[in-house]
């Protein structure tokens, strides 16, 4: 049954995208998304109203070029970056931002977790046309200048409010890990325990204070803050598996059940929702997990990290994640968080960001072709036509990473003009083109 927000029931005026959609209005953001996706604006409005589509678009993010995340739309890709305690180089983070925007990432998550991070976050929001996400919990210790155990539930809400007021489009809130979820985790055990940074911090806080997860206990207050600024809640998977051994276990599923309930409560409050998912997962479990999330979370957009399909490839985890991401997105996931070669090893640098982002965009695009997303094959067809014509500039124009493609081509100049050093005069395209044009085929010595 369609949920009706308080705003749409005629109390306050509509504020959020879902408020407007349920009131029958097509917003400017919905029209932009419809144009980008080749969809009718009414298709977008209906999807937002039902919760199948989210358009994370804080009313304070003036530079945003809105994107839709959800059913029937292109798979979107997120880049994680941010300052850490060991590598607090803001200049390097701006290099990563530039790479993310150059290669067309639809979202950037600022996961800064050390010191006073507000200045960087605000500058990022001012500059970025991509949607911006954060995890307020990461910022709490530096923002409040308190040890974890000294932070109160009210303090956590203050940090959420600060991020919303800065203009963040979506926030990860680990509200699904409550005492019931933790009991499932304790009873069944895990090989890698809790690997979510946010989840581990909440677990530690709950253990130290004896209190319930503040984001679960005061969930309605969180939603009121997010509704005021039209911030989308990304319901974090604190119990995501950190190894293929732990995938689809009781802790993960117990949390997902709670997240499904929280999804409906958010929609009732007029707040858009995305649901975050695993993690590490064997290839044969991915499709079932995507269907399970859609079922338990009422077709809310699904945002997955990877999944990484094996655990033994440090230095190459952008590949393990891209394999899993392609299967996940083709099976229903809507939003892929990139993984870089540095995953599990160190903070990524700008070169790692490029590698991870391109790998994830390949996974997303491959899935969109498989799902039959409108227009997904268009660029591939243009690339294939350029290859037939041996039009190198045309090929570079369609490449996901035109800089890398051009660098490879120009690094080994061919002796036969128009070809490359793989085949030279034996280039199949060149040979058949000559025949089709009625020319004599030139296969002399190079």
- Residue 308: strand pairing partners: 280
Helix (H) or strand (E) holding 128: none
Q: Alpha carbon of 255 to those of 235, 389, 443: distances in Å? A: 10, 53, 65
Q: Measured on CA atoms in the order 90, 91, 94, 96, is the torsion positive or negative?
A: negative
Q: Is 239 annotated as a binding residue?
A: yes
Q: Is 240 annotated as a binding residue?
A: yes
Contact between 266 and 232 (Cβ < 8 Å)? no
Q: Is 213 annotated as a binding residue?
A: no
Q: How far apart are CA 47 and CA 1, in angstroms?
A: 14
Q: Is 276 annotated as a binding residue?
A: yes
As to burial, measured by CB atoms within 10 angstroms (0-12 exposed, 13-18 middle, 19+ buried), residue 68 is buried
3-class DSSP state for residue 305? strand
Q: Is 88 annotated as a binding residue?
A: no
Q: Is 423 annotated as a binding residue?
A: yes
Radius of gyration, alpha carbons of the chain:
23
Look up residue 399 and give its two tokens: 């490449």
Q: Is 427 annotated as a binding residue?
A: yes
79: Cβ–Cβ under 8 A, 6 or more apart, which residues? 96, 99, 100, 105, 107, 108, 109, 338, 353, 356, 357
Q: Is 61 annotated as a binding residue?
A: no
Q: Is 230 annotated as a binding residue?
A: no
Q: Is 198 annotated as a binding residue?
A: yes
Q: Is 22 annotated as a binding residue?
A: no
Q: Is 238 annotated as a binding residue?
A: yes
Q: How far apart are CA 372 and CA 172, in angstroms?
A: 30
Q: Alpha carbon of 290 to those of 42, 69, 299, 302: distances in Å? A: 26, 15, 10, 8
Q: Is 90 annotated as a binding residue?
A: no
237: Cβ–Cβ under 8 A, 6 or more apart, which residues? 174, 176, 196, 199, 252, 255, 256, 259, 275, 276, 277, 278, 279
187: Cβ–Cβ under 8 A, 6 or more apart, which residues? 250
Place of tokens 């490359």: 420
Q: Is 113 annotated as a binding residue?
A: no
- Residue 233: strand pairing partners: 171, 273
Phi, psi for 218 (deg, rounded to 5): -115, 40
Cα 228 versus chain centre, distance: 23
Q: Extract the annotated binding site for substrate.
A: 80, 109, 138, 174, 196-198, 237-240, 276, 303
Q: Which residues are annotated as a binding site?
A: 80, 109, 138, 174, 196-198, 237-240, 276, 280, 303, 344, 420, 423, 427
Annotated binding site for Zn(2+): 280, 344
Which parts are annotated binding residues for [4Fe-4S] cluster?
A: 420, 423, 427
């Amino acid at each position: 049954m369609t949920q009706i927000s308080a705003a749409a029931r005629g109390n306050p005026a509509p504020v959020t995208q879902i408020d407007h959609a349920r009131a029958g209005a097509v917003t400017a953001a919905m029209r932009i998304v419809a144009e980008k996706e080749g969809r009718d604006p009414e298709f977008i409005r209906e999807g937002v109203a039902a919760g199948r589509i989210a358009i994370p678009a804080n009313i304070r993010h003036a530079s945003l070029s809105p994107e839709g995340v959800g059913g029937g739309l292109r798979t979107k890709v997120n880049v994680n970056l941010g300052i850490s305690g060991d590598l607090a180089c803001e200049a390097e983070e701006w290099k990563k931002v530039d790479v993310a925007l150059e290669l067309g990432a639809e979202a950037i998550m600022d996961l800064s977790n050390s010191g006073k991070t507000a200045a960087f976050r605000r500058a990022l929001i001012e500059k970025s046309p991509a949607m911006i996400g954060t995890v307020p919990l990461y910022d709490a210790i530096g923002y409040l200048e308190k040890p974890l155990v000294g932070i109160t539930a009210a303090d956590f809400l203050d940090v959420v409010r600060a991020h919303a007021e800065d203009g963040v489009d979506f926030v990860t809130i680990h509200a699904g890990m409550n005492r019931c979820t933790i009991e499932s985790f304790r009873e069944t055990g895990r090989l890698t325990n809790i690997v979510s940074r946010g989840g581990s911090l909440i677990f530690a806080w709950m253990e130290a204070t004896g209190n319930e997860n503040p984001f679960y206990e005061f969930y309605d207050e969180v939603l009121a803050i997010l509704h005021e600024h039209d911030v989308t809640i990304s319901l974090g998977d604190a119990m995501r598996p950190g190894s293929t051994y732990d995938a689809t276990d009781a802790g993960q599923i117990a949390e997902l059940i709670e997240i499904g309930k929280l999804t409906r409560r958010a929609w009732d409050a007029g707040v858009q929702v995305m649901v975050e998912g695993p993690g590490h997962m064997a290839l044969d479990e991915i499709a079932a997990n995507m269907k399970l999330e859609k079922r338990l979370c009422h077709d809310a957009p699904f945002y997955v990290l990877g999944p990484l399909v094996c655990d033994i490839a440090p230095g190459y985890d952008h590949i393990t994640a891209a394999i899993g991401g392609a299967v996940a997105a083709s099976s229903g996931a809507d939003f892929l968080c990139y993984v870089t070669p540095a995953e599990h090893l160190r903070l990524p640098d700008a070169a790692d960001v490029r590698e991870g982002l391109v790998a994830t965009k390949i996974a997303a695009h491959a899935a969109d072709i498989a799902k039959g997303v409108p227009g997904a094959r268009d660029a591939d067809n243009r690339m294939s036509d350029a290859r037939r014509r041996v039009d190198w500039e045309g090929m570079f124009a369609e490449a996901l990473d035109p800089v890398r493609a051009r660098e490879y081509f120009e690094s080994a100049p061919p002796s036969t003009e128009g070809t490359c050093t793989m085949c030279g005069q034996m280039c199949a395209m060149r040979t058949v083109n000559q025949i089709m044009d009625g020319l004599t085929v030139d296969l002399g010595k190079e």
